[in-house]
Structure formats: structure tokens, C-alpha cells
Amino acid sequence: MLFGKDQPLENIVVRGARMVDPVEGVDATLDVRIDNGVIAALGTELEPNSHRVISGEGLLLAPAFVDPHVHLRTPGREDEETIASGTAAAAAGGYCAILAMPNTDPVVDSAATLGALLVATRDQAEIPVGFLGAITKGQGGTELTEMGELADAGAAGFTDDGVPVSSAGLMRRALQYAAVTGRRLALHCEEPTLSRGGHMHEGEVSAELGFTGYPSVAESLMVERDLGLAAYERQPLHLLHLSAWESVQAVRRARAEGVAATAEVTPHHLCLTDEAVRSLDPNLKMNPPLRAASDRTALVEALKDGTITAIATDHAPHARHEKEVPFEAAPFGVTGLETAFPALYTHLVQPGLVPLEVVLERMSAGPARAYGLERPRIAVGATANLVLLDLNASYRVTEEVFRSRSLNSWLLGETVKGKVRATIAAGSVAYAA
Amino acid sequence: MTADIRVMREDLRPPGRPPRRHFISIKDVTKDDVERLLATARTFERSLEREVKKLPTLKGRLVINVFYESSTRTSSSFELAAKRLSADTMSIKSSGSSVDKGESLKDTAITLGAYDPDVIVIRHPQIGAPRLVARVTKAHIVNAGDGKHQHPTQALLDLYTMREELGRLEGLHVAIIGDVLHSRVARSLIQGLTLTGAHVTLVAPPALLPRGIEAMGCEATIEIAAIAAADVVYVLRMQRERMQEGANYVPSLREYTARWGVTPARLRPGQKVMHPGPMNRGVEIDPQVADHADALIETQVRAGLVTRMAVLYDLLTSGPAEVKAESALEVA
């Protein structure tokens, strides 16, 4: 389900890093030796065997990250992102694998379109990429795609992300048919008649600023509907970018009742609230919108207690001129690949809101599990998918930080802590600072 | 968050220079600023009683008015305010300009900025447009209305009118009635009134009362009876263009008028009535109310001229600390 360039498999020794793999129960300062891209030995004072030696002293080595929600904008908007630039951005952010959304132009709704993308991916991708296919043709919400053929061609799952599947009847059919493919549906939950015209969360800040509100209930109603259908059909599903307290409650309830639902949350929803929109900076406009402090608190709690198992950037590049407009005229979306870890480390781990181990797990094993991908891990015999992090590095996020073709980051100008020093993806060094 | 700094690009400001002042939101000003602006407006009002009404104060300054939405009173009063102060003025309307050719706001602003205007007055249908213009030009920006967000000079002229007519703002009770949801006038006025110590009650049909609006420091109710306790009843325009079929904010304008129309029967004698205009007579305001001696609507228009003169003067003089409103005119 993952595709990329053939990269040289490395022989490396990383010395003296603190290794943390919360799933494997590893937390120790050790050396790791990688032979031909596979973790061959963990221990102290390992023989380098003429391998390339990287000093990990004072650094943290963890399973590399998996981003289940990226917009690569290819095909159609290669001015905003390409497979090459998007995967380079991901590598710089510590990712060893990403999943790309199908809301491109044309939409990835046929095996032919997917096949062409895979050819380009094998030629350009710096790290492995998986592609989700659309649930409905052209994401039009009326006719199912040929999910069986798409799955055979390599689709990692199915989604109409960007728009909801409005029809409950069609949603039910999609859930039924997805079972045939063995792939999961990933749902963008938004009741369009409630969100229409909305630019930000409906609440005290929108009332004061005058924006038409996009209420929490527009999301949670759809979450409830889809969980209800999943329970009825006994099918699993994955919920994209949850933003509201009510949605979290619904997921918690459904999981307690045995629904196989996974859910993701973005760094910006975990770090910010609608108060940030007061600046009217178009880089704070996204769908779903930043919500109230109580929603943010609920998301942080859900991340900790495992109701939400995945952190997803929803990396959504936009051309500079499209964001240099009044807030109301700007498109939804912010980038996040390069900055996800420093954002979370600065806003959640450092203030003591979330333990580091939880962030590491939800950025790696959690999202991999949601889509049935192999989990990056620190263990002898595992393919090397590792990220080397400097938790003491503090720096200002400037335009130079970005490998993406787009710069619509909410962190521009902010000083953050936590820097990716190197990324090893599928046994190959994808990034080194 | 450093978002604010980023938007304002204050980090690009040369060290030692005071920040460039704008009037984009009532949030940009303090209570002292409002008091100073109202005092300045009053001195200008007296100067307009002279036979020769023009003052040389802003001679050689350039004020550009850019209006992306239709306007009669705001655009005319800004233009006249600038002229009364001897500034050069230019007025750009979106129709008939490069906007028709699809030029972006950023590019239009850069183009106008090339003439080195001292002030750009902008009205735009989208929230945040004045901030964008502030970012890409060196002019002082005055917001003449951006979408549903703010219309700060309207609030200032309304405060001026209330102060002149009722003698105070502190402790004054103002009921704002009508389509609060779509009203930039209401948002600026709520902030202006709470800033100066007045008490505000909002009255509107449920769907036109924004959820969470009480956090601005006012009361909100759907009961028209609540206007009885107010010193001033401020009637908002029922924006017909927002009430298109299918919107269902209210079932019909007819039903709105029946339940929330401001009629003589719903007012106490002596209660003052204000309206930002343009009025829909017979919809939100009964014609008898609009024409009654207690209506301050024409006073508001006159106040618009002198308060806008005060805003232009204040932005273009060296700063709050050095402005002495009374003596400024003697120099003039």
C-alpha cells in the first residue's frame, strides 16, 4: 500500500541516543546498528563495522512518524505541492510514511488515475506514500467508485475528504462495500447545511468578529450519524480531523459499545483555539475550524486516554497569492508536515499537558494501526524507520524551514522547541540537518 | 501566539519609530482615545459654524477613499471631512476600476500606495480587508466598514451624538434592535458603548442574535419589551439583501415588523431613537418614529462629518500625547 523511489539501503550506527519506543517498551540510552536498512543490533559500544556513524548524543531516537492525512495537490495543483516537495517536507518533519488524500484534479477515483500517480511516486517520492481513493466518483457524493479495483491497484483506504458524504443512504452503501476491499473508510464529518458560509468556529469570538459561524454540531451530528451506521453495519471506520468536544464524546461512547472506530486530530486543533483567529491571519483558517478552549481540552484528553489514536497534520498547501487576501476570501487549510513535532512539543509536552511518549505513539504507531500499515518500531529485525530529535534546540520558524512548495503555516514567525535532526525511512536516510 | 505581530508586520518597523496608527476596530482605541476624538470633533463642529468652513490643517496631505461597497453617507462624509481640512482627496470605487478586471485587493492597495497617501479609507465586503491593506501600504488605514466585522467611525459618530444630546455616556442605557448578526455597526457600537461605561441591551429575533454575543459585555434578548427601559433605542437596518427567500432568519419581513418593528406604541415619550441609515421605513422603523423630534437621525449624519474630521486629524498629527484638541484649532 506504500510506494516510493528505490533508495539505497543504509549501513549506519547511531551512537548514544536516548531511544524511546513506547509500544516496544524501550527507553534507554543505547547504540543502534542498521545493516542494509534493517535494525541489526541494539547495545552499548557496538562495533561500527565501517558503517557511517551518526552521533546521537543528547538526542532522542524514536520510531519515525506516520502522517495519515496529507494533501499532495498532485495532480492538478503542482504549483502548490508535488510528490517530490511534499515527501521532502514530510522527511524534514520526521515522517517515514504519509497517506495522500484523493481530492485532487482529477479526483483519484479510478484505478487509471491512481496508476498514473503511482508511476510518478516511484520516480519522485523521497519517503513511502500511500494513496486513498475517493468514496464517490469525482467526490460528487452520488455514485460509488470502483473500490475493489482501486484497492487492487494499491489504494490504502477510501475517503471523500474535503467534502462530506451527505447522503446517509450512500454512506451506508459505502460502508457495506468497503468490507469487500479490506480497506477502511476515512470520513470527513460535516453537515453542510449547518456549516454553509462558515469561516470559523461559532462562538464568542465569531460573534464579536462578525464571521458566519461553523458550529461544532455541524461536525458532531455527522460523527454520530456515521458511528450509528458503522455500528449497524458492523464495519470499522476512521474519523478525520476531529475538532469538537461533542465529537469526542460520541467516539468514546461508540467505542465503549464496540464500534471499531479510530479517530485523528491535527496539531493545530491540539495547540490553538478560536482566540487565535482574532489576528485575522488567513493562515489560521482551516476546515474544521479552530474551536473553543473547552474543545481543545477535550481533544487533549482524548489523545491521552486513547479515544483519539492518531495525530494527522491535514497538511493543506495553498499558493501564496491565494492566502494573501482578506480572511473571508481565503481558502481553508494550513501546512503542517515540517512543523508537527515542534508544535506539539512546544505547546503540549513542554507545558506538561501531554507526556512525550504519548505524542510519539500517536504520531507513529497510532496512525499506522488505523490503516493497517506496518508500525515503525525500534527492535532488532525491524526495517529502520527512525527519527532523531533534538529536544533542546530552540529556533524561529522562518520560510527557510519549509521544504513544501507552500508557506501557509500558522507557525511562521513563532519560536519553537524540538528539531528533527535526521529521518530514516524504509532503511534509507531521507533527511539530515 | 505571535500571529498579531506577524499580521501587523510590526517587526519590520524601524527601531525607535512609534507604531503607525490605524482605526480599523474600536478595539484599536482606549477610552482616553475616544474622549480625545470626541473633544476634537466638538471643536471642529464649532469651526463649521464659521462662514468660511475650510481649515488649512491637513494641507498637502493625501486621503484616498476606496469603496468596494455602495455608500452614500460614509463616503461623502469622509470626502467632505478631508476637504474641510484642506487635504487632497481621491475616491476609488470598485466598479469602473481595475477591480472589474479581477485585480486583487493586494495589488490595488500596492498601486494606490505608490502615490504615498497619508490615509487610506477603505470599505470592503470582506472581514480583514483593512488589515491586508495596512500590511502592504505605508498609509494610516481607516476602516469604513469591512463585512460584518467593524465600522468604527460609525460608532464614534453615534457616541458623539449620544454625548451631545444626552450629556453623558457613562451609565447610559442603549437598546440596539434588529439584525445584529449581519451588523458591523452593532459590533462597533457595542464595543464603543461598553468602553465608555454605557449599558447595552440587544434585541433581535433568535436567528439574528449571534450565539455568544453576550461575551462582548452586553445583554441579549428576543423580547421587544426590553427597549422600554432604554434611554436610546438604536434601530438597525433590516438588510433586505440578507433576507432572501429560503434564508429563514425570520419567516417574513411582515412578521419581523409586527414583532420587532419600532413603532410609536412601543416607545416612551422622550426616548431618543437613532438609526445608522439607510432606513427601511415601515420595516424596522415606523415612519412616524423616524420623523419625530426624538429621532436623532439627521444629527447623526452631521456628527459623521465632524467625527471623521477628528479621526483624520488625530491620525495625521504627531500622536496622542501631543494633541491638544482645543489649541489645535487656534493654530489652524
Res. B7 pLDDT band, cuts 50 70 90: very low
Average pLDDT in chain B: 89
Tens digit of each residue's pLDDT (9 = 90 or more) over B124-138 = 999 999 999 999 999
Closest partner residue to A280 (CB to CB) among B128, B148, B211 is B128
pLDDT for residue B18: 58
The length of chain A is: 433
Res. B319 pLDDT band, cuts 50 70 90: low
Suggest the residue from A280, A283, A290, A346 to mutate for an interface test with chain B (most B CBs closer than 10 A). Answer: A280
Res. B3 pLDDT band, cuts 50 70 90: very low
In chain B, CATH 3.40.50.1370 covers: 3-149+302-319, 152-300
Positive or negative, the CA dihedral B280, B179, B183, B39 is positive
pLDDT for residue B9: 36
Average pLDDT over residues B14-31: 80
Rounded to two decimals, what is the model's pTM? 0.93
Interface A-B, measured as beta-carbon pairs within 8 A, has a size of: 96
Average pLDDT over residues A196-219: 97
Whether chain A has a CB inside 8 Å of the CB on B272: the answer is no
A280:B150 CB<8 A: no
Q: Which grid cell is A399?
A: 520560510
Query: How far is it, in rounded angstroms, from Cα B119 to Cα B63?
Result: 5
Res. B12 pLDDT band, cuts 50 70 90: very low
- A283 CA to chain B: closest CA distance, Å? 9
Q: Note if B74 is an active site residue.
A: yes
Nearest to A72 by CA among A95, A46, A55: A95
Closest partner residue to B3 (CB to CB) among A208, A211, A279 is A279
pLDDT for residue A142: 97
Q: Which grid cell is B229?
A: 427601559
Q: Which fold does the domain B152-300 belong to in CATH?
A: Rossmann fold (3.40.50)
SS3 content of chain B, % helix, strand, coil (to 5): 45, 15, 40
Query: How far is it, in rounded angstroms, from Cα A178 to Cα A235?
Result: 8
A377 pLDDT above the threshold of 90: yes
Tens digit of each residue's pLDDT (9 = 90 or more) over A120-131 = 999 999 999 999
A82 pLDDT above the threshold of 80: yes
Average pLDDT over residues B11-40: 81
Suggest the residue from A208, A286, A412 to mutate for an interface test with chain B (most B CBs closer than 10 A). Answer: A208
Q: For chain A, give every domain's residue range.
A: 64-375
Query: How far is it, in rounded angstroms, from Cα B319 to Cα B322?
Result: 6
Whether chain B has a CB inside 8 Å of the CB on A322: the answer is no
Determine the 3-state secondary structure of A174 from DSSP.
helix
Q: Which CATH class is domain B3-149+302-319?
A: alpha beta
Percent of chain B scoring above 90 in pLDDT: 77
pLDDT for residue B17: 52
B318 pLDDT above the threshold of 70: no
Average pLDDT over residues A338-346: 98
Percent of chain B scoring above 70 in pLDDT: 88
pLDDT for residue B244: 67
- A397 CA to chain B: closest CA distance, Å? 11
Nearest to B295 by CA among B308, B284, B310, B311: B284
Res. B5 pLDDT band, cuts 50 70 90: very low
pLDDT for residue B188: 98
Q: What is the ipTM of this complex?
A: 0.88
Q: Note if B42 is an active site residue.
A: no
Q: Note if B240 is an active site residue.
A: no
Q: Which fold does the domain A64-375 belong to in CATH?
A: TIM Barrel (3.20.20)
Determine the 3-state secondary structure of A228 from DSSP.
helix
Residue by residue, DSSP assigns B90-130 as EEEESTTSGGGGT--HHHHHHHHHTT--SEEEEEESSTTHH
